[in-house]
Amino acid sequence: MSMVIEENIMVPMRDGVKLATDVYRPAQQGQWPVLVTRLPYNKDRRFPFEYPPFTKEKRIFLELNFDSARVVEAGYVIVAQDTRGRFASEGEFEPFVHEVEDGADAITWAASQPWSSGQVGMFGVSYQGLTQWEAAREQPAALRAIAPSQSPGWHVYPYQGGAFLLGVALGWATGVAMEEVQRRVGQGRATRAELEEMMQASGDLPALFRRLSLVDVPLLQGRAPYYFDWLAHPTLDEYWRTLIQEEFYEQVTVPALTIAGWYDHFQREDLEHYQSMRQQGGSALARSLQHLVIGPWSHGNFLRGFRERTYGAASFARDLLTDLHLRWFDHWLKGIENGVEQEKPVRIFVMGTNVWREEEDWPLPDTQYR
């Protein structure tokens, strides 16, 4: 099936800010279910994927664990949107702040298009996973299911166990700030010299990590102000409670396919999402039909191994996860009775034996705590 690509459609949000959106859809006439992903990392970015022993190929960022050509060929529309204040979108970027409303508006827009069947799902990795949970909180009528991969929490994004994750927080904020300066150069609001300075800093993060105090990062002033907010709020105080609500999981009423990695620094958050939705989800459907996959992957890396270790062909995730996404969304968006509701909800990759195993729940029911 051939594909039509429409780029940089400016989709209005409820407050009038317009967000840049790309559409990948089947060329033939029809109405198709839609899969939405929303990201702050540039919907147009190309980067090398290397699958040894295969050659390198360029893939768009949304394909970290997803083969978009296969998905469109299977009869889906993919909608990829730059989040507010990022790249081609209007507005100012504030991490986590606008994702509930903007996500719900993007879903409603996707459901209303002439090529849409009105059935919408969401997918994506890392912040793209977070935008799914956030959009689901508003319960947009067209949203049927989500598939968040390696999703952060909110307060635990820069903190774990009370410790500030300097490498994650400062590294992420510096990269985002560099892209913000690049955006401002294109808008005539920053100079090439400022961009060169940010690029140099981003390329030498160890030098930034060695600076004391931790707030002594003048390059981030006015470019990533949230970094300083994170440092100023080390506990789960009112600052964080404006971003999350106590009843967060009770607000989510759709099934979720949560994809985690044994080596991912957000593994704990993925497991919390799964367990909390099973206990507190906002509908019987959501509580009973949460699925969890845990593979031998690091953050955003779904290849066959991690660092010096490889785990065989069974761990090669691009094909595996594309199949899982299609099976999941075929059921929830197309109404295909393919057994999703009857299968065991947990699938784990057993380290050492390098095989997949299905389980009834997580934590494993026969776990012994010592």
Catalytic residue among 264, 291, 315, 331: 264
The number of angstroms, rounded, from the C-alpha of 304 to the middle of its chain's C-alpha atoms is 21
**Other CB atoms closer than 10 Å to residue 148's CB: what's the count?**
25
Q: What does the block give as tokens for 126?
A: 């890392």
Q: What does the block give as tokens for 142?
A: 């067209």
264 in catalytic set: yes
Catalytic residue among 126, 149, 202, 315: 126
126 in catalytic set: yes
Quote the CA–CA distance of 49 and 60 in Å, as a whole number: 10
Please report the sign of the dihedral spanned by the C-alpha atoms of residue 154, residue 158, residue 163, residue 165.
positive
| Closest listed residue to residue 66, CA positions, set 78, 55, 56, 54 | 78
Quote the CA–CA distance of 345 and 352 in Å, as a whole number: 22
3-class SS at 95? coil
Q: What does the block give as tokens for 358?
A: 């299905």
3-class SS at 197? helix
3-class SS at 117? strand
288 in catalytic set: no
Distances (CA, A) of 54 to 34, 51, 114, 295: 31, 5, 39, 21
Catalytic residue among 155, 299, 325, 331: 299
Q: Rounded to the nearest 5°, which phi and psi values hold at 84?
A: -50, 130
Q: Rounded to the nearest 5°, which phi and psi values hold at 175?
A: -65, -45
3-class SS at 104? helix
Bridge-partner residues for 347, per DSSP?
293, 358
CB 78 within 8 A of CB 106: no
Q: Up-side HSE of residue 118: CA atoms within 13 Å toward CB?
A: 1
Which residues have a catalytic role annotated?
126, 264, 299
